[in-house]
């Protein structure tokens, strides 16, 4: 079989980097997208196999279109989009959240995911053979919020709607769409959890984390399925994190 092509956004660190490395190890060719070239080249080196670096601001429609046009020109198709780029935003009470900060989180987490999905749809519909897969990075926050996370939580709930709509609209074009909701994967974004984070009752308490490689392996499994099968929603979390239960 020809090598499969995977566009990974937010590929310069964290979950995006881990997924790109895992996909490369499984024989995919990752196209690494993110705002800064240097971290993307670092991910490419970790892949230990061919990987394309395409610096991209996913909030910019023209940049996103250029990312997918470049991928199509170089490789002829897109088999997978891992829609991963995102930001938590300021962890402040809702009454203190500036509108500019709200818009920045929405632009990156939601509009960026839409722009990438739209561009992927356009390519996947016309390529031969037709079709492909989109995996959206949701969050445990798509189910239960953390204190002081209104912008992030709202966008992750919206990602679930995006996933469902993409799944429906993609059926007749062999485009599958699923979502992975991640809880406490050990990355730079979650580094503070071992020292303590705010809980629902106001306490500051440390939380368990899990190896981000376990997230990457889950994404690889979702990506490897034939297009006739789909993991619609997957939740991967640190076993002992305070998610199941009260308080």
Which residue numbers are catalytic?
Answer: 152
- 161-170: long-range contacts (C-beta < 8 A, 24 or more apart)? 162/110, 162/113, 162/114, 162/117, 162/136, 163/136, 163/138, 163/232, 163/233, 166/117, 166/121, 166/134, 166/136, 167/230, 167/232, 169/121, 170/121, 170/124, 170/134
Q: Nearest 5°: phi and psi at 236? A: -125, 120
């Amino acid at each position: 079989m020809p090598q499969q092509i995977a566009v990974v956004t937010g590929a310069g660190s964290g979950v995006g980097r881990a997924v790109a490395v895992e996909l490369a190890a499984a024989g995919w060719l990752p196209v690494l997208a993110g705002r800064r070239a240097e971290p993307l080249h670092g991910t490419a080196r970790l892949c230990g196999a061919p990987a394309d670096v395409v610096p991209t601001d996913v909030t910019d429609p023209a940049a996103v279109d250029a990312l997918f046009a470049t991928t199509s020109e170089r490789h002829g198709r897109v088999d997978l989009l891992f829609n991963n780029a995102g930001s938590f935003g300021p962890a402040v009470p809702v009454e203190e959240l500036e509108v500019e900060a709200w818009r920045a989180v929405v632009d990156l987490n939601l509009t960026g995911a839409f722009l990438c999905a739209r561009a992927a749809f356009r390519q996947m519909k016309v390529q031969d053979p037709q079709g492909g897969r989109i995996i959206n990075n949701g969050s445990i926050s798509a189910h239960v919020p953390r204190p002081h996370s209104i912008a992030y939580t709202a966008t992750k709930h919206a990602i679930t709607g995006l996933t469902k709509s993409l799944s429906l609209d993609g059926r007749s074009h062999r485009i599958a769409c699923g979502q992975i909701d991640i809880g406490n994967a050990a990355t730079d974004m979650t580094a503070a959890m071992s020292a303590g984070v705010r809980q629902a009752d106001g306490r500051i308490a440390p939380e368990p984390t899990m190896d981000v490689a376990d997230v990457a392996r889950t994404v690889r499994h979702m990506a490897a399925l034939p297009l006739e099968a789909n993991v619609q929603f997957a939740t991967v979390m640190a076993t002992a994190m305070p998610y199941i239960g009260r308080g």
